Structure 1
Amino acid sequence: MTTLGTASAAPGEFDTGRLTVGETRDGTAVGLPVAVVNGDRDGDTIYMQAASDGDELNGVGVLRRVVPQLDPAEIAGEVRVVGVTNFHAFQVAEHRNPIDDTKLNRAYPGSANGSSSERIAHATFSAAEDADLIVDLHQGSTSRMINEVRVRCGRHHRLHDDCLELAKVFGCGHVLDQKGPEGQLARAGPDEGIPTIDPELGGSVGFDEESIQYGVDGVFNVLRYYGFLDGDVDTQPQTRAKDFDRYGSPVGGLVEFKQSLGDDVTEGDTLFEITDVFGTLKATVTADNDGIFWRTRRLPQVATGEYVCSVGTDVDTF
């Protein structure tokens, strides 16, 4: 029997339910939407979740397409899913949990007696800690970003190669291989011996269909490659960045980008220009290093020192 919150499925069954993580301010129980697929055949367990940040919706779009296609009769092992992780932030379409002003993906593995975010992290990590794989679906918030997968355990971690293999199988084409901050699920999972990846499915306001399709394809790649579903996966070489150069604006004004997301850039190439509202050039910013044009702000107006874009650096192919 596979159980996650109120969802319970015997071999060959599928069920949905709620995972209780606390109460709202009026005392109403808070339950995260969960699903379990218990395959007809024995196998491993995979845990997936989305919307750890409440305004990152592409992962939810992935799961609502993937889960209806998971027939227990075709599955080997167990699939556990939390469809919306950061309940409170999701309700108000904000990045951080408004109850404790915390970014949930800095709270893992959480605490049963902690803050709102720590309790959510504890409940969801408890559902994942005996899994064989973890896929934590994210996106680059509401900024503009390429589709990529993040390996956050650090290159000296004992599970680094396993996480990197999982990222390659997911197959977005780009991988950021950089140790993440404390409290990320993609760090807590490997520390418990579970290969974990953090797919960052573009960056958008609401759903982005292209990025969602990357995620759907990636999840099915993983399910097939690791034996949850029958079928072969032809893994493709991935472009990996091991660091970022972040660029802010030296002046206030309006941004005009001279590179497109995913472009190769060479040291000295112009990344963006800043003009005033009448089109007069105020500043030109060039690349400090070779790399890939990885992420940008969405709105054109910037103040002095405000974030503008990032270039992935120390690039190779694996």
Structure 2
Amino acid sequence: MTSLGTATAAPGEFDTGRLVVGETRDGGEFGLPVAVINGARSGKTLYIQAASDGDELNGIGVVQRAVPRIDPAELAGQVLVVGIVNYHGFQVAKHRNPIDDTKMNRTYPGDSEGTSSERISAATFDAAQDADMILDLHQGSTSRMLNEVRVRCGTRHRLHEKCLTLAKVFGCGHVLDQKGPGGQLARVGPDQGIPTVDPELGGCVGWDEESIEYGVQGIFNVLRYYGFLDGDVDPEPQTRATDFDQYGSPSGGLVRFEKELGERVSRGETVFTVRDVFGTVKSEVGADGNGIFWRSRRLPQVATGEYVCSVATGIDTY
């Protein structure tokens, strides 16, 4: 038998339930939606979670579409899924946990006696730490962003190559290979010896079907490559970036981008202009170096110094 919260499945079975992590303000228990897919044959364990940022819904879309397609009768090993991590943020469509105003993906490995976010992180990490690999599904919040997979352990980490292979197998086409902030699951997992990556499935308001399909295909790539399901996977070359140049606006006005997401940018080439209401150019911003137009704000209006976009640098193919 394999259990996660109240979900329990014998070999060849599937079950859903709740992972109780605390009480709401009316004193009632609440739990995260979880699923267990226990394969008919023995094998490895894959842990998947989504929506540790409460407004990042593409990961939930991936879970909703992928889980029903994983047949436990054909599976070797186990798949453990937490469908919504940031329970409170999801309820009000907010990025951070509103109970303690915390970005949850900075609180791992958590604390079972700590804040709301730390308790949720502790409970989900307890489920994850016995897995052989971890997929932490994200998106670029409500900004516009490429579909990518992030390797956050750092290039000198002992599990870097394994994490990089996992990212390549997932196969969004783009990988950010850059050490992440402390408290990220994609950093804490490798520290515990578990290859972990952070697929950032585009960026949108609500969810985006193309990005969700990248995520579904990515999960099945992982399941096949690592022997959970039959089938061959030949990972395709990925475009890898190791850093970002971030650009703020030198003036207030309305942004007009001169590049599309995924396009190459050369040093000095215009990335965006800022214009007044009548179309007069107030500022023209060129690239500091060569790279790929990776991420941008969604709304055009900006104040002086406000974030506008990011160009990924240190580009190679692996």
- Scaled to the shorter chain, the TM-score interval is over 0.9
The TM-score normalised by the length of structure 1 is 1.00
1:43-58 correspondence runs (5 A): 43-58=43-58
Q: Distance in 2 between matches of 1:66 and 1:213?
A: 9
Q: Number of aligned residue pairs: give it.
A: 318
Residue by residue over 1:165-202, the C-alpha shift from the partner in whole angstroms, topping out at 9 and shown as x without a partner, is 00000000000000000000000100000000000000
Deviation of the 1:283 alpha carbon: 0.2
Separation in structure 1 between the aligned mates of residue 264 and residue 81 of structure 2, nearest angstrom: 36
The equivalent of 1:124 in structure 2 is 124
Runs of 4 or more, structure 1, over 3 Å off, are none
How far is 1:244 from its partner? 0.2
| Structure 2 match to 1:40 | 40
2:173 is aligned with 1:173: yes
2:91 and 2:166 map into 1 onto residues whose CA distance is 31
**Structure 2, unpaired ranges of 5+:** none
Unpaired runs of 5+ residues, structure 1, are none
1:167-316 to 2 correspondence within 5 Å? 167-316=167-316
Give how far 1:207 is off.
1.1
User: C-alpha deviations, 1:21-44, integer Å up to 9, x for none?
Assistant: 101111111100000011000000
> Could you tell me how far apart the structure 2 residues matched to 1:234 and 1:226 are?
12
Q: Helix, strand or coil for the counterpart of 2:284?
A: strand
CA deviation digits over 1:111-132, x for unaligned, max 9?
A: 0000000000000000000100
What is the DSSP-based 3-state SS (H/G/I as helix, E as strand, rest coil) of the residue aligned with 1:117?
helix
Q: Equivalent residue for 1:68? A: 68
**Residue in 2 aligned with 1:164?**
164
The amino acid that maps onto 2:26 is D
Per the TM alignment, residue 70 of structure 1 is displaced from its structure 2 partner at its CA by: 1.1
CA RMSD of aligned residues (A): 0.4
Residue number in structure 1 paired with 2:85: 85
What SS is found at the alignment partner of 2:65? helix
Paired amino acid for 2:5: G
Name the CA distance, whole Å, in 2 between partners of 1:3 and 1:102.
Answer: 29
| TM-score of the superposed pair, with normalisation by structure 2 | 1.00
CA shift, 1:315, in A, is: 0.5
The alpha carbon displacement at 1:316 in A equals 0.4
State the identity as a percent: 74
